[in-house]
Structure 1
């Protein structure tokens, strides 16, 4: 399993373009577009790695019953749409809120966001509140197909 620093490096490489890394795999240059707010960055320090389904939300939705190993796999999941590089400002405004309390400022991203949220919740068999479901339904209504 990758360490936290290696996971960060992999996400920055995956989500950026023209990413150059130093000998310790840290992103030293590149270009990233924060899908939440459609802002472009050239410094990795302006980004946070967001958990699509925040850890606290997952805990309230069923992760409290998981083994430590499964919680760690969830927190570091590079296979599903769970981790992505976004602006620090958007990630911090999101906090541990679900889609019923926070939606990405970039409305064109709503469809992708809702699909990713549903995918992660379904993959990990996490519960969804009625308010969450209602907002996800509205957000999925923005999808063109």
Structure 2
């Protein structure tokens, strides 16, 4: 994760543009939960990375563990109640430039374990977020705003995605919470 100063520089470099059309969008255009080796897909890899005391079965599925959801502070002990959030949602990526990408780049975006694009969070918080950008949805736990703003900005900058003026403004507000 980049520091706040780096995130501010990344935020300043984002190209401002209105949201693109959703024409042609489908989640299936972003191959997600790709194989990551050792019978584990991206979802199971993130569950292990973000959880504590995670025990997996022979097929790499999380059986037990504990996850703390960044967005709402909820502590979850059942893997079925944990969603893997795309910090920058796939639909938001589509609206801000991914519609022009090839299948390989969309797959990389949907399964990116190198950048802060994937995060285990409570299913309830992920579903309340949906595909909204930060100007329309913010994590209810304000103490997470700094990390969320840094992650969102890092992903948008890394993939050359655009941002709306309102989105950039709210990201600046989020980065203002960094100490």
TM bracket, shorter-chain basis? over 0.9
* Alpha-carbon shift at residue 96 of structure 1 (Å): 0.4
Whose RCO is larger (CA < 8 A, sep 6+)? 2
Q: Which residue of 2 aligns with 1:41?
A: 76
Q: Which residue of 2 aligns with 1:3?
A: 35
1:18 counterpart = 2:50:
no
Using the alignment, how far apart are the partners of 2:71 and 2:124 within structure 1?
10
1:121 counterpart = 2:156:
yes
Using the alignment, how far apart are the partners of 2:109 and 2:53 within structure 1?
28
* Secondary structure of the corresponding residue to residue 41 of structure 2: helix
Q: Which residue of 2 aligns with 1:92?
A: 127
Using the alignment, how far apart are the partners of 1:41 and 1:2 within structure 2?
24
* Alpha-carbon shift at residue 84 of structure 1 (Å): 0.8
* Alpha-carbon shift at residue 8 of structure 1 (Å): 1.0
The structure with the largest strand share of the pair is: 1
Using the alignment, how far apart are the partners of 1:27 and 1:21 within structure 2?
4
Residues 32-53 of structure 1: per-residue CA shift (max 9 Å, x gap) = 0000000101100111110000
Q: Which residue of 2 aligns with 1:57?
A: 92
| Number of residue pairs aligned between Structure 1 and Structure 2 | 144
Q: Which residue of 1 aligns with 2:145?
A: 110
Unaligned residue ranges in structure 2 (runs of 5+): 1-32
* Secondary structure of the corresponding residue to residue 105 of structure 2: helix
Using the alignment, how far apart are the partners of 1:17 and 1:100 within structure 2?
32
Unaligned residue ranges in structure 1 (runs of 5+): none
Residues 83-104 of structure 1: per-residue CA shift (max 9 Å, x gap) = 1110000000000000000000
Q: Which runs of 4+ in 1 moved over 6 A?
A: none
Q: Which residue of 1 aligns with 2:6?
A: none
Using the alignment, how far apart are the partners of 2:145 and 2:169 within structure 1?
14
* Secondary structure of the corresponding residue to residue 29 of structure 1: strand
Q: Which residue of 2 aligns with 1:81?
A: 116
